Structure 1
């Protein structure tokens, strides 16, 4: 009898795992059943703001592989609109139910991939209230938002709750659609994924787009008119709204795993080993798992499509009889707010302090190209280095025109545990259209190396 692989979740991690397993084992040797609670497989959640902002068509353009492709070319039994509601490890089966109702079905498994992703944070005040309140975690969420925006009467005012990556990207998308937008954020700054001094640069750019930014504000409820949202109520007053978008982040969708007795870590994510194995014949990958930060050595939760695809690939290789490991993350991420680019990798100052490091910082302002070349734009780079050793601990970039992708150089240096002094000798490419003679990365490394020297001298 062929072995049976059951996959919970048909997006990046789950389908990467299933595809890799199929490449290594034939349809006669391995049956694959995939349960996906939505209407799509293998799609880019990160592309949703660009669909909403009319920069790309959707949703088809955001789908990498359709369910039909997986069924026809990969011989997978893909069941859309099916949510797994129980895992029975003792009897090696799952229980699933169609989202429209009906009798539950049981499917046995020899191997199980747990990859349901993440659940958006949705406060009590956002549940069961007026129409016009949307999360943007899935393509189904985005389709519902687009239908609301395109239906009459056309919304004129939007409130985005939360100023993280998705919040600021959705704010820009709604501005592009002609709405007046207000961002409300409970914390002291937008984009808490960078240090406050860098976050202040993001705030200035958001305001320059005409978006009102209100920080230190806690949402307490909603007001409605004829069943449609009309205002967001906060501890500092009310903000009129015809549509509300939630950008409050996500949490690991680990409830089903926890109920089955699988280990869940302090971040709330499922705990795996290096091969993405949770238990005998049980694997997990993607936005539902926690991983290890390679700089701090601590467990972290970093839900990104890049990690999900890599983790799913690792799980699938191992299921298929190969060998692969996932070595952890350094927390690299980039985003764009209008023309402003933001990148970060490694530890923030707060993270470095929590991990027990003593450190120095260096902040430099430079240009993306030679100053005389058309289009040269300013960027700010911040490096955090360990006192004494000069080991790079983290980096952030805020700027325009080719700023954010320079974070990849810094992420590579971080991954390979380089010191800022070693980084000053990096052989980076130079031509006036692409960089000054002294690339901003090199200037920042040199300033950080000096800061390390001075800290040692003072001690």
Structure 2
């Protein structure tokens, strides 16, 4: 069996390693257009901020490690075309310019995503950079050393982590986003408001509800970010607007969402025979809505890549879908979320309700205790849990993994009230705060028993 893998991302590495282990006789060839593989891009802010001293720790595989499994890895090779009907492809050696053809029995497409780059006046100016791969992270670190004023465009996870890192390194930092709240895709206002205040308290200038329209510069270098509401001086600009799937190779050959994300079934198969896909290049089954959605997360990627190997020859293990579970630490606050926010549920046309719990996570007789803010969103008619968010100075983020399992198993908020959680004063109260959310959501009036005469 000849297996070709395009792209050695999180999903690609998982698919390659597991395929090599499950099918030791398979001939596996990898095409990667970069000069490195398996870079943990979620660690960029930690690297930029100096928390991670040795960037090699952000790589969890290498061509040498794959070679030990019998895998041939073609680095700095770009696949230029794929023909899914003839099961052939064309590739180019980026060092020599040589072009050649190849064929496959099974094709695994794990081409990942690329940052959205707006077409704005002044984009050609120096010191406007992206934040995605290892090369970007080194460029950011190098340029940040000389920069006094840094502007980050995009208030998602990467943007928030970067502004925190820059501020802690003594920079003057501005955060710009077209939305009127930070992290608006992940959290409701009850959570974003205190986080925004924390950023302001640390001296970060927030320019929310403002859309970047152009950049100004002098001597070829950026000096000013222009929005529809103002101008901001900057020696360095980091663009973190979002991501698009890298799927041009298969355009018109497999089913995709409108944004180009490849649609796969529960076994990671595309609509083309013997073509599999996983990771940031794909749409994924989103359990809270039951629809296909584009949710580029490393956790989704490694699960999907692993399942490709398991289902490469026969349908063995179906994917269980995702809740889009994620977490972030911003200064002293530990934050996590899963599933739909209340705002997202309403946007989806779902008749949703929510409960908000604000309590100390463990008994007040303990020497110390911290407040926890928990929100659970559920469907009004079915009582089915749709999502949850949590924030605390104590690290209680693992509780969101519990809610993720609840959503995946279509549990109701009423059931959450009575789930068996242990009690120990070091860790919680007799009613765990997850139970408390369920109890708070219970109907306010008792159900009257109907007695027949």
Determine if the TM-score, normalized by the shorter chain, exceeds 0.5.
yes
Q: Return the alpha-carbon distance in structure 2 between the equivalents of residues 367 and 19 of structure 1.
A: 44
Q: Deviations over 1:77-96 (max 9, x none)?
A: 11222221211223322222
Q: Specify the alignment match of 1:411 in structure 2.
A: 404
Q: Specify the alignment match of 1:242 in structure 2.
A: 235
Q: Deviations over 1:99-139 (max 9, x none)?
A: 45612222211111011101111111288511111211111
8 Å contact kept, 1:267–1:299: no
Q: Which moved more, 1:82-91 or 1:431-440?
A: 431-440
- 1:52 counterpart = 2:48: yes
Q: Deviations over 1:332-364 (max 9, x none)?
A: 111111111221111122332344432221111
Q: For 1:6-21, what aligned pairs fall within 5 Å after superposition?
A: 6-21=4-19
Q: Which moved more, 1:39-48 or 1:164-173?
A: 39-48
Q: Specify the alignment match of 2:90 in structure 1.
A: 95
RMSD of equivalent CA atoms:
2.1
Q: 2:217 aligns with which of 224, 228, 231?
A: 224
Q: 1:365 aligns with which of 358, 362, 371?
A: 358
- 1:203 counterpart = 2:201: no
Q: Return the alpha-carbon distance in structure 1 between the equivalents of residues 430 and 149 of structure 2.
A: 46
SS in 2 for 1:287: helix
- 1:42 counterpart = 2:35: no
Mark the CA change 1:187 to 1:175 in structure 2 (over 3 Å): closer, same or farther.
Answer: same
Q: Specify the alignment match of 2:380 in structure 1.
A: 387
Q: Return the alpha-carbon distance in structure 2 between the equivalents of residues 347 and 137 of structure 1.
A: 26
Q: 2:309 aligns with which of 307, 311, 316?
A: 316
Mark the CA change 1:450 to 1:40 in structure 2 (over 3 Å): closer, same or farther.
Answer: farther
Q: Specify the alignment match of 1:84 in structure 2.
A: 79
8 Å contact kept, 1:342–1:399: yes
SS in 2 for 1:124: coil
Q: Return the alpha-carbon distance in structure 2 between the equivalents of residues 107 and 97 of structure 1.
A: 11
Mark the CA change 1:356 to 1:233 in structure 2 (over 3 Å): closer, same or farther.
Answer: closer
Q: Return the alpha-carbon distance in structure 2 between the equivalents of residues 230 and 363 of structure 1.
A: 44
Q: Following TM superposition, where does structure 1 have runs of at least 4 consecutive aligned residues deviating by more than 4 angstroms?
A: 453-456
Q: Specify the alignment match of 2:112 in structure 1.
A: 117
Q: For 1:99-178, what aligned pairs fall within 5 Å after superposition?
A: 99-100=94-95, 102-125=97-120, 128-150=123-145, 154-178=146-170
Q: Specify the alignment match of 2:422 in structure 1.
A: 429
Q: Specify the alignment match of 2:250 in structure 1.
A: 257
Unaligned runs of 5+ in 2: 449-453
State the aligned residue count: 446
SS in 1 for 2:261: coil
Q: Which moved more, 1:239-248 or 1:192-201?
A: 192-201
Q: Deviations over 1:9-55 (max 9, x none)?
A: 112111111111111222xx311111112222122111111011100
SS in 2 for 1:277: coil
Q: For residue 267 of structure 1, report the CA deviation from its aligned partner.
A: 4.8
Q: 1:23 aligns with which of 21, 35, 39?
A: 21
Q: Return the alpha-carbon distance in structure 2 between the equivalents of residues 223 and 356 of structure 1.
A: 42
8 Å contact kept, 1:25–1:320: no
Q: Return the alpha-carbon distance in structure 2 between the equivalents of residues 400 and 313 of structure 1.
A: 34
Q: 2:390 aligns with which of 370, 375, 397?
A: 397
Q: For residue 307 of structure 1, report the CA deviation from its aligned partner.
A: 0.6
Q: Which moved more, 1:312-321 or 1:161-170?
A: 312-321
8 Å contact kept, 2:123–2:214: no
Q: Deviations over 1:289-327 (max 9, x none)?
A: 001111211111110011100100111122255722212
Q: Return the alpha-carbon distance in structure 1 between the equivalents of residues 193 and 262 of structure 2.
A: 34
Q: Return the alpha-carbon distance in structure 2 between the equivalents of residues 353 and 42 of structure 1.
A: 37
8 Å contact kept, 1:191–1:202: no
- 1:299 counterpart = 2:299: no
Q: Return the alpha-carbon distance in structure 2 between the equivalents of residues 363 and 254 of structure 1.
A: 40
* TM-score, length of structure 1 as denominator length: 0.92
Mark the CA change 1:379 to 1:20 in structure 2 (over 3 Å): closer, same or farther.
Answer: same
Q: Deviations over 1:191-212 (max 9, x none)?
A: 1121233221221222222211
* TM-score, length of structure 2 as denominator length: 0.93
8 Å contact kept, 2:13–2:61: no
Q: Return the alpha-carbon distance in structure 1 between the equivalents of residues 31 and 447 of structure 2.
A: 56
Q: For 1:175-186, what aligned pairs fall within 5 Å after superposition?
A: 175-186=167-178
Q: Return the alpha-carbon distance in structure 2 between the equivalents of residues 268 and 447 of structure 1.
A: 42
- 1:270 counterpart = 2:262: yes
8 Å contact kept, 1:135–1:141: yes
